[in-house]
Amino acid sequence: MFQKEIAVSDGGDGFDGCIEVVQRTRGYRRWPDEAKARIVAESFQPGVRVVDIARRHGLVAHQLSDWRRRARLGKLVLPADTM
């Protein structure tokens, strides 16, 4: 996902500020199970927020939450030292 800020001057409508334009990448990105497991393990560390870990790795929070759910159900194997 690419982000770009555009400065907007008052065009007569009273708005003077910036607009953030977010361009999404096309297609789905495939994550190997090893990478998913590493990211999920990082998200299970005490004191971290799912949204922060997701953002750091270019994910949306609900995607990481789904991976975490799969790990709790045993459908995604995590490194032994994680749990």
SS (H, E, C) 10-60: CCCCCCCEEEEEEECCCCCCCCCHHHHHHHHHHHCCCCCCHHHHHHHCCCC
Taking only the tens of pLDDT, the chain with its 83 residues reads: 455 555 555 566 666 666 677 666 666 788 999 999 999 999 999 999 999 999 999 999 999 999 999 999 999 988 776 55
- The domain of 54 spans 1-82
Dihedrals phi, psi of 71, to nearest 5 degrees: -65, -40
The number of distinct structural domains making up the chain is 1
Q: Of 36, 77, 33, nearest to 54 (Cα)?
A: 36
The confidence score (pLDDT) of residue 1 equals: 47
